[in-house]
Structure 1
Amino acid sequence: MTDGRQKMPSTLAARLAKEWRQSGPGYMFLLPWLVGFFGLTLGPTLASLYLSFTDYDLLTSPSWAGLDNYEYAFTRDRRLGNALEVTFTYVLFSVPLKLAVALLLAMVLDRSVRGVAFYRATYYLPSLLGASVAIAVLWRQIFGAEGLFNQLLLVLFGWQGPAWVTHPDYALSTLVVLAIWQFGSPMIIFLAGLRQIPQDLYEAASMDGASGWRQFWRITLPLLAPVIFFNLVLQTIEGFKAFTQAFIVSGGTGGPIDSTLFYSLYLYEEAFANFRMGYASALAWLLLVIIAIFTAIAFWSSKYWVYYEDEAR
């Protein structure tokens, strides 16, 4: 009996040593990701959830406030309603227009033309630069009162345009145009999807007398639906998280009469300008819920318009 007790620890140690030899190197390679996930993602996420139920100003210890932050957001915060309206408007116009432009250019670049690789890289460049501070500053100069856009209007039509980025009726439109200009990422994804469509289908349709427009509606769009759905979800999420453009173009104030007060910009103001970190954390979780709802709606609606090849089998 004593010998059995002495063998158990050694057997357990041998098993652990064997498991470590088999899986240890893999866990070591995963260690940087695990540290980042628990230390930089999961930890702060749980901390923000706790802070959303507190009154916290970054300078003193947080005090428990219960549902006060959420009650204030739903019943008394008028600027939040304006931020939601601006953000919904931005997403409603920027996402479909960006995807339309991206699909159009992807179809153009899908043709075998000379120098097509150069054009692909050139068209993708705005997506790499569009979210940068430098491009936002440049955009503000282009659409300023004395900017390049107004200079072109004056030369071509003899009309002096307004200061587009500071006019409450046009400020949001300039940001929508900037978002559309960043079409490179969805364009590359569309291009990959177009390459997966069998050319035999187009040849058969041509032999049957189908026009190019009819081929687009009957072949391209149905077979490209999964890629469109993928891009739609990604770009919608990115639209709700838009921040840099509005912050720089509006000078960090939300523009004239809050016309460019994006949700993320308002969240930033509450956290780092008004030092209401508890309320900002509640706003962050509300944004998470909003994005989750729109994503769920997209997945629910996909069964009516997204076609997967495996479903026909």
Structure 2
Amino acid sequence: MTVNDRYKEEIWKNSGDWAVEARGLVKTFGHNRAVDGVDLNVRAGTIYGVLGPNGAGKTTTIRMLATLLRPDAGSARIFGYDVAKDPQIVRQLIGVTGQYASVDEALSATENLVIFSRLLGLGRAEAKHRTAELLEEFGLTEAAKRPLKHFSGGMRRRLDLAASLIAQPPLIFLDEPTTGLDPRTRTQMWDTIRRLVKTGSTVLLTTQYLDEADQLADRIAVIDRGQVVAEGTVDELKTSVGTSSLQLKIQNPQDIAPTREIVEQVLMVESIVSGDNAKITAPLADVDKVTDLLVALREAGIYLAEMSVQKPTLDEVFLTITGHGVKDGTSSSSEQSNKTEEAAV
């Protein structure tokens, strides 16, 4: 069953521009505060990324927003509907795809999708039609009758995403949807996620991949140890942690020393030389000074092979904000116990 028409009509009246509004979400497992006062605002029609290492609280936050876990404190609204007071309505407005494919390996892709469709209330003919549409959309038509035990990881993940879209929900939660996928399949999943938003859905995406957040998200919340430690667009986050860097590659390696001297005089910073490739890197706080530098280099008879200005990477952003890299965070024993407790909910 697709979202009830009455709910479709009321969504925008009830929510304004926001698909998700969360305030002070808290979830504790034993002595571990897995989520510690998370605030989120996700604008409808966008891709919102929640970036953080394993054990940061990303999955627990998603489960609370999706009504799968009850918050110990705080509140959340999905298109204006309270997740605690209106869970049945909220469930009709969302699709959830987890880190592991929620499909039956003993059945084919077609059989899985037909069963999910029937469980959602679609008639027999409608279920078959919707299944055929989704198999075509996710490039699984040729493998539709193949047992899932012969599917690759990427094919299973695409099938899991297809299953979450049977009801055509306006909000889709994707919890680390590309974990373990090869680069080509990850890129295909990125394209699919972009298409979902173009057709009117909102996507809340959790990830520990910096390039994924950089490529997809309109806005990003950086979460660490259960708290949102930074939030903004990719450019805003990169700008917040420091200046850009200027990189120069010199045509004649013998000009490295005088070039470095000119760079430091004009930009009034210290520079570094990388290896034997005649490349100089220096922090750049004022882009207008690049023109002065180029004039000075030309007057000195120094010629460049390449020049580029680079903003800080998301890796640098995360390291600066949290004091460690995204991949440094590993699941602790407490996180593993959280997963066990969550599974029992």
Query: What is the TM-score of this pair, normalised by structure 1?
Result: 0.22
Looking at both structures, which has the greater relative contact order when contacts are Cα pairs under 8 Å and sequence separation is at least 6?
A: 1
Higher strand share: 2
Query: What is the TM-score of this pair, normalised by structure 2?
Result: 0.20
Higher helix share: 1
